[in-house]
Structure 1
Amino acid sequence: MRYPGLPDVLRACGFPRWKKPLVRQCFSPRQVIFSAAGEAVPRGSWVIVWGMSPAPPGAERVLRLEDGFLRSVGLGADIVRPLSWVVDGEGLYYDATRPSELETFLATGDFSPEECVRAASLRQRIIALELTKYNLGGEAWARPTGYEPVILVPGQVESDASLAYGGAGIKTNLALLQAVRRENPGAFVVYKPHPDVVARMRRAGQDEIRCREWCDEVVTTGSLPSLLKAVDEVHVLTSLAGFEALLRGKKVVCHGLPFYAGWGLTQDVQTLTRRNRTLSLDQLVAGALLRYPLYLSRTGDGRLTAEEALDALVDWRTRSGNRAPWWWEGYRTVVRVFAGVR
Structure 2
Amino acid sequence: MKLNKEQQNSILGSSYSTYRALIAYLANRGDSSTSSLDRSKTVAVSVYDDQIDSHQPLLRKVYRDNIQGMSDVNRLWTDRYLFWGAKFGRIDRLAARAMQNNAPAWFVEDSYIRSVVGSLVKERKEYSLSCSLTFDDLAPHYDGNYPSRIEQIIQAQQPLAPSEAAEVRRKIDSIIDTRLTKYNDQPIMDDVCIGARDKKVLIILQSYGDASVEVTGGDTAVFERMLSDAINENPDADILVKTHPDTIIKSNRSYINDRSDKLHFLNFRINPISLLRYVDKVYVYSSQMGFEALLLDKQVKIYGTPWYAGWGLTEDVKPISRRADYPRTIEQLFKAFYLDYSHYFDTDGAETTLEQASNNILSLRKQFFDEKYRAKKVLIIKLDGIGDYILARDPMRSLKTSDYFKDAEFSLLGDSGYRGVPEALDGDFFSNFKWVNRRANRFMNWLERVRHDAGGTRRKVLDVLSYLYLVYSMGIKTGIRKSDYDCIVVCCWNRRLRNTILLFLRWMKPKYTVGLATMDFKKSRYSISIPISGDHLKYFRYDLEKAFFSALAPAQESLPSVQQAKTSSVVMVVGAFHAKRRWPIERYLEVASWLSKEHGLAVTLIGESELPTLPKNIADDKNITLSLGRLPIEQVVSLISSSSLVISNDTGFYHLAVALHKRTVVISNGNSYSTFLHYPDTHPDALNIREVLVPEFEKMLKTQNMDKVRAFTRSSDLDIATVTVEKVKAAVIDVMKI
TM-score surpassing 0.5?
yes
Correspondence list, 1:85-164, <5 A? 85-110=133-158, 112-113=160-161, 115-138=164-187, 140=189, 141-144=191-194, 147-164=197-214
Task: Tell which has more relative contact order, 1 or 2 (C-alpha 8 A, sep 6+).
Answer: 1
| Residues 76 and 214 of structure 1, relative CA distance in 2, 3 Å threshold | farther
Structure with the higher fraction of residues in helix conformation: 2
**5+ long unaligned stretches in structure 2:** 1-30, 123-127, 374-508, 513-738
The one of 304, 321, 331 aligned to 1:273: 321
1:67 corresponds to 2:103? no
Aligned to 2:33: 4
| Residues 211 and 279 of structure 1, relative CA distance in 2, 3 Å threshold | farther
**Deviation for aligned residue 1:67:** 1.1
Correspondence list, 1:199-214, <5 A? 199-200=249-250, 203-206=252-255, 208-213=256-261
Q: Across the two proteins, how many residue pairs are aligned to each other?
A: 322
CA contact (8 A) 1:157 1:205 kept: yes
CA contact (8 A) 1:11 1:32 kept: yes
- Alpha-carbon deviations, 1:239-296, whole Å to 9, x = none? 1111111111111111222211100111222201111210011000001100111111
How far apart, CA to CA, are the structure 1 residues paired with 2:174 and 2:188? Answer: 21
Identity of paired residues, percent?
A: 25
The one of 272, 275, 283 aligned to 1:224: 272
**Deviation for aligned residue 1:111:** 5.5
TM-score (norm 2): 0.40
Correspondence list, 1:330-341, <5 A? none
CA contact (8 A) 2:222 2:303 kept: no
| Residues 205 and 82 of structure 1, relative CA distance in 2, 3 Å threshold | same
| Residues 21 and 195 of structure 1, relative CA distance in 2, 3 Å threshold | closer
With 208-217 and 60-69 compared, the bigger mean Cα shift is at 208-217
Aligned to 2:333: 284
CA contact (8 A) 1:170 1:176 kept: no
With 277-286 and 113-122 compared, the bigger mean Cα shift is at 113-122
**Deviation for aligned residue 1:124:** 0.7
1:17 corresponds to 2:67? no
How far apart, CA to CA, are the structure 2 residues paired with 1:272 and 1:214? Answer: 34
1:49 corresponds to 2:83? yes
CA contact (8 A) 1:169 1:256 kept: no
The one of 217, 226, 230 aligned to 1:180: 230
The one of 369, 387, 390 aligned to 1:321: 369
CA contact (8 A) 1:11 1:47 kept: yes
| Residues 88 and 265 of structure 1, relative CA distance in 2, 3 Å threshold | same
CA contact (8 A) 2:204 2:241 kept: yes
Amino acid aligned to 2:52: R
CA contact (8 A) 2:213 2:219 kept: no
Aligned to 1:77: 120
**Deviation for aligned residue 1:129:** 0.5
How far apart, CA to CA, are the structure 2 residues paired with 1:313 and 1:211? Answer: 36
How far apart, CA to CA, are the structure 2 residues paired with 1:94 and 1:318? Answer: 31
- Give the CA RMSD over aligned residues: 3.0
CA contact (8 A) 1:103 1:259 kept: yes
| Residues 26 and 294 of structure 1, relative CA distance in 2, 3 Å threshold | farther
CA contact (8 A) 1:166 1:238 kept: no
CA contact (8 A) 1:83 1:296 kept: yes
Amino acid aligned to 2:129: R
**5+ long unaligned stretches in structure 1:** 330-342
- Alpha-carbon deviations, 1:168-215, whole Å to 9, x = none? 686554442222112222211111111111122x62225x34244562
- Alpha-carbon deviations, 1:26-75, whole Å to 9, x = none? 457xx724142571577992212211224241442211211111111112
Query: What SS is found at the alignment partner of 1:151?
Result: strand
How far apart, CA to CA, are the structure 2 residues paired with 1:224 and 1:180? Answer: 19
- Alpha-carbon deviations, 1:310-331, whole Å to 9, x = none? 11111110111176599x99xx
Aligned to 1:32: 66
How far apart, CA to CA, are the structure 1 residues paired with 2:212 and 2:188? Answer: 28
| Residues 21 and 154 of structure 1, relative CA distance in 2, 3 Å threshold | closer
**Deviation for aligned residue 1:10:** 3.0
Aligned to 1:294: 343
